[in-house]
Amino acid sequence: MSIQGVQLFIQDDHVVMDNGILQVTISKPEGIVTGVSYQGIDNLLEIRNHESDRGYWDLVWSEEGTGGTTGTSYVIKGSKFKVMVENEEQVEISFTRDRSSLEGKHVPLNIDKRFVMLRGSSGFYSYAIYEHLKEWPGFNLPQTRIVFKLRKDKFQYMAVADNRQRRMPLPDDRSPRRSSPLAYPEAVLIVHPVESEFQGEVDDKYQYSCENKDLHVHGWICNDPPVGWWQITPSNEFRSGGPMKQNLTSHVGPINLAMFLSAHYVGEEMVPKFQRGEPWKKVFGPVFFYLNTLIDNNDPLWLWEDAKQETKTQVQCWPHNFLASDDFPKSQQRGCVSGRLRVSDRYVSNEHISVNGAYVGLAPPGDVGSWQTESKGYQFWTKTDENGYFLINDVRTGDYNLYAWVPGFIGDYKNDTIITITSGCDIDMGELVYEPPRDGATLWEIGIPDRTAAEFHVPDPDPKYINKLYVNHPEKYRQYGLWERYSDLYPNGDLVYTVGVSDYRTDWFFAQVTRKKNDGKYEGTTWQIKFNLDNINQTGIYKLRVALATAYVAELQVRINNPKANPPLFTTGVIGHDNTITRHGIHGLYGLYSIDVKGTFLMEGENTIFLTQPICSSALQGLMYDYIRLEAPPS
């Protein structure tokens, strides 16, 4: 490794950061990364693209009052360049856009993009400060991210996780003459690929999405010479939606994304909407772009292992202490919160239950579960140890609520105390007790309360629509077109589940979708749960708990022992814009419904619950269940 100091070369229309290991060229004053030189490769970025289409920050915005998750796309270009730090140990440079200097319709934000290079570091950092002043117009911000487009002749192997990596098709394979369109533009069937190994495969960027909690490193490998390009995100504090929020990663291009705000797998509820008179400032990043090569090793996959090790190093060094902006607080300027979370459910145990692996987080004050759609502030999450203890370090100053959810138990926990984090504070919350929703003993249950539908039956895909990565894979739900398999498995009638006989792992389809009819149109579906009761408490109130893992323009109607009851016993109304079924997820927004069932509605012997999803304008509408339970009346 070179021990050369960091140098900054400033030209008329670009600047170069060089530490002897790599050189990064950035347009001036726009702040677009036009070149990255490493290990004898003049430019790792796609030289076939225009200089403005290689490495950039961008956003999608819309005017106040606009609905939906789309808007005007804008590549963020600075109008002023400034050197913030320049010495042998570090260079930090700034590219700012000042909203007040722009004419016409522009997103009402000041944006300061930063790039940082350190001595002896095999990579570079980028972060940005977004600011909306209260006197400016309101606006919506559906998406913002960093995009890098790498050379297609070099980077052909992609890695997102230990068990999610493969050689990828070329972008040429997605062209109309080499592929066939599928149900939506992101998905294509490759029919005439440049390389025959990809013939007959589906390519879709959503097949490589990842939950925030697992989204710390992903990237690409070049074999000749052996070089890795990795995006490392040490903290999720600036990402929206909490640990379960899913985001895009890398995909065919080769493209490498750092997603900060997106509505994917949630819908419009995830879009931050700012009003005139509402000041806002947020720091996105820093993200580390790490480059590596083989040393005393000839296996290119070692580059992935090394990137994971570098990720651990970056996590341990968080929050970085070398950034020049005062808007990014150092560790000593932050606070921490600790405590113990236990569960009280007298139908499971007479004692408080210590829970291992519960998710505990600080997020801006809001309603129970509001962290799922929170997108303006910062969130800080951890997991409890085997005794339920938790520690949340390096929390930015401000006001928070403490939230939690516990795998194995339904519902959400929220502590009503407003927690004010001050610089250097150490707050002990003591013992917290979560009482999950419960009225009576469990008569029967279907599934596992873990906020996903992963435990249910996920069918094999149609052989015409294969992604080879997900054959015999634990995440086989990422295959394309699984919604069509419901009609194949249930051509003449809908799913019927018999408690005590059926097995949810094989007999409960992972998504309640529409059925395609012979005329090409779709119809709603009604699933049945059959169960026996020996003794009925005629004066008691039973409770049906239905936890949904996702919904997309759907409705759940519940009826008991009368499939034609009008009105139904319960309806959610039209819910959900998660689009999870389309995007190969196994969950979106979590929702819990608790339904009173009078004892007079039930019969001794066999009973049937009818679950109807009637909305049927497309193949991609429907629900995923997380967990269903029937409780006896309170004892």
- The pLDDT score that the predictor gives to residue 481 is 96
List, in order of start, the domains of the chain with CATH numbers: 7-153+230-317 (2.70.98), 331-434 (2.60.40.1120), 442-631 (2.60.120.260)
Q: What are phi and psi of 315, to 5 degrees?
A: -65, -45
Entry field: residues in the chain = 635
Do 97 and 78 touch, CB atoms closer than 8 A?
Answer: yes
Q: What is the pLDDT of residues 206-246, one digit of tens each?
A: 999 999 999 999 999 999 999 999 999 999 999 999 999 99
Q: Where does residue 58 rank: exposed (0-12), middle (13-18), buried (19+ CB within 10 A)?
A: middle
Q: Where does residue 604 rank: exposed (0-12), middle (13-18), buried (19+ CB within 10 A)?
A: exposed
Mean pLDDT confidence for 424-446: 98
- pTM summary value: 0.96
Q: Is the pLDDT of residue 102 over 70?
A: no
Q: Which of 153-162, 445-454, 516-525, 545-554 has the lowest mean pLDDT?
A: 516-525
User: Pseudo-torsion of CA 503, 507, 509, 513, nearest 10°?
Assistant: -130
- The pLDDT score that the predictor gives to residue 104 is 59
Q: Running DSSP on this structure, what letter comes out for residue 459? A: P
In which residue are the tokens 């290119």 written? 300
- The pLDDT score that the predictor gives to residue 175 is 97
Q: What is the pLDDT of residues 59-77, one digit of tens each?
A: 999 999 999 999 999 999 9
CB atoms within 10 A of CB 279: 11
Distance separating alpha carbons of residues 465 and 407, to the nearest angstrom: 33
Mean pLDDT confidence for 17-42: 97
Distance separating alpha carbons of residues 269 and 263, to the nearest angstrom: 8
To the nearest whole number, what is the mean pLDDT of the chain? 96
Mean pLDDT confidence for 79-84: 97
Do 435 and 418 touch, CB atoms closer than 8 A?
Answer: no
Q: Where does residue 421 rank: exposed (0-12), middle (13-18), buried (19+ CB within 10 A)?
A: buried
Q: Which two three-digit tokens encode residue 366?
A: 């809001």
Q: What is the DSSP string of 50-119?
A: -GGGSEEEEEEEEETT--SS--EEEE---SEEEEEEESSSEEEEEEEE-GGG--SS--S-EEEEEEEEET
In which residue are the tokens 């796609």 written? 46
Distance separating alpha carbons of residues 74 and 253, to the nearest angstrom: 20
Cα R_g (the chain), whole angstroms:
26
- The pLDDT score that the predictor gives to residue 100 is 67
Q: Which amino acid is at 289?
A: F
Q: Which amino acid is at 14?
A: H
Q: Which residues pair with 60 in a beta bridge?
A: 73, 143
Q: Which amino acid is at 217?
A: V
Where does the pLDDT of residue 101 fall: very low under 50, low under 70, confident under 90, or very high at 90 and above? low
Q: Is the pLDDT of residue 57 over 70?
A: yes
Q: Is the pLDDT of residue 2 over 60?
A: no
Closest CA to 243 of 161, 69, 360: 360
- The pLDDT score that the predictor gives to residue 518 is 86
- The pLDDT score that the predictor gives to residue 298 is 86
Tell me the HSE value of 555 on the side-chain side, using a 13 A CA sphere.
Answer: 13
Do 408 and 449 touch, CB atoms closer than 8 A?
Answer: yes
Q: Is the pLDDT of residue 517 over 90?
A: no
Do 455 and 510 touch, CB atoms closer than 8 A?
Answer: no
- The pLDDT score that the predictor gives to residue 330 is 97
Distance separating alpha carbons of residues 358 and 341, to the nearest angstrom: 8
Q: What is the pLDDT of residues 365-420, one digit of tens each?
A: 999 999 999 999 999 999 999 999 999 999 999 999 999 999 999 999 999 999 99
Distance separating alpha carbons of residues 314 and 235, to the nearest angstrom: 9
Do 76 and 60 touch, CB atoms closer than 8 A?
Answer: no
Distance separating alpha carbons of residues 216 and 308, to the nearest angstrom: 9
Q: Which two three-digit tokens encode residue 456?
A: 């249910």
Do 37 and 26 touch, CB atoms closer than 8 A?
Answer: no
Q: Is the pLDDT of residue 628 over 60?
A: yes
Do 461 and 485 touch, CB atoms closer than 8 A?
Answer: yes
Distance separating alpha carbons of residues 42 and 428, to the nearest angstrom: 53
Q: Which two three-digit tokens encode residue 84?
A: 């913030």
Q: Is the pLDDT of residue 58 over 60?
A: yes
